[in-house]
Amino acid sequence: MMKIAITGASGFVAGHFIDYLYDNNIECEILGLDRTSPKIDLTRYSDKIKISFSIVDLMDKESLKSIIRNFNPGYILHLAAFSSVAYSWKYPSESFTNNSNIFLNLIDAVRETDPSCRVLSVGSSEEYGNVTRAELPLRESQPINPVSPYAVARVSQEMMSKVYVKAYKMNVIMTRSFNHIGPRQDDRFVVPSFIKRILDIKKAGQSEGEIETGDTTIIRDFVDVRDVVRAYYLLLTEGTPGEIYNICSGRALQLTEIINYIAEEVGVKVNTRVNPDYVRPDDNKEIVGSAYKIEAELGWKPEIDIKDTLHDMIMERMQ
């Protein structure tokens, strides 16, 4: 039976990853690690998956090492992080220190206990930084040029992964995951926040309203979280150690288009007004990826259309 440890197990992506294992009848034992208790009911998986949970601060290496040694996982999905770029601009030191050091503690704990364990180090498309349109779609060979504290920390995590693969022959696989969205995502993130505020217009009985936004001209590559976790499972089990894989849709969408899709689905007209407080000091203007590598090696490609994702997110919030 597979033994999988998941850091950041109380978060958005982890819940969907466990759903994927459950829905696909993958026999496994899971150890969830996080600083807070999970928001989902773990007992609902009990007929197929054995799940335990430990509250731990990943900055405490000795506690983490003890947990890893006792559980002895064959696989680790590292999701724990301060995952907001906006947060990293407000608290750069905290964001960088946390995201870099928790990964270093984890990978060194694995090295000291069982270096054969396969670790998926989840990175970000933010690592690419500002690029020209001629460089799109972005491939893994594209030079990285991080332009936010969050992105710098992700680059640090990726470089440390390479060090441990080369020096200790460890089984670390890396991703550069593009913007993923889906049901149960926190309203702090941009697309759920759009949905919440547009639904508030509808709930107020209005047919038209205004929301404040940041720069809605920026272009992003959005991929459904349910496609993302499918990729994570494939990479955990079949990905090549030391390699980096884009997880993306390959489709360019301006934030304005996302707002229009939501407004159309909800049935209201939405006007936007830029709030300078929501505009980041230096933002990547256009990020679109190529999933050629993971498709060629593992057969993965996104299956869920963005409109279906938004529909599911809206329906969830209307219940």
Question: At the fourth CATH level, which superfamily is domain 2-181+225-249+289-303?
Answer: NAD(P)-binding Rossmann-like Domain (3.40.50.720)
- Fold type of domain 190-218+252-286+310-318: UDP-galactose 4-epimerase; domain 1 (3.90.25)
- pLDDT score, position 284: 78
Report the pLDDT averaged over residues 109-116: 97
pLDDT category of residue 280 using cuts at 50, 70 and 90: confident
- pLDDT score, position 12: 96
- pLDDT score, position 226: 98
Residues 6+ apart with CB under 8 A from 103: 78, 121, 157, 160, 161
- 217-258 pLDDT tens trace: 999 999 999 999 999 999 999 999 999 999 999 999 999 999
- pLDDT score, position 47: 85
**DSSP secondary structure code for residue 124 in this structure:** E
Q: Reply yes or no on whether the pLDDT at 72 is more than 90.
A: yes
- pLDDT score, position 38: 86
Q: Is the peptide bond before 183 cis (omega within 30 degrees of 0)?
A: no
Report the pLDDT averaged over residues 129-153: 95
Report the pLDDT averaged over residues 44-50: 88
Report the pLDDT averaged over residues 166-174: 98
Average pLDDT, the chain: 95
Report the pLDDT averaged over residues 260-274: 96
pLDDT category of residue 89 using cuts at 50, 70 and 90: very high
Domain residue ranges in the chain = 2-181+225-249+289-303, 190-218+252-286+310-318
Q: Reply yes or no on whether the pLDDT at 183 is more than 90.
A: yes
Residues 6+ apart with CB under 8 A from 212: 272, 273, 274, 275, 278
**Signed CA dihedral, 272, 278, 283, 287: sign only:** negative
User: Angle CA(222)–CA(144)–CA(140) in degrees, nearest 5?
Assistant: 60
Which pTM value belongs to this model? 0.96
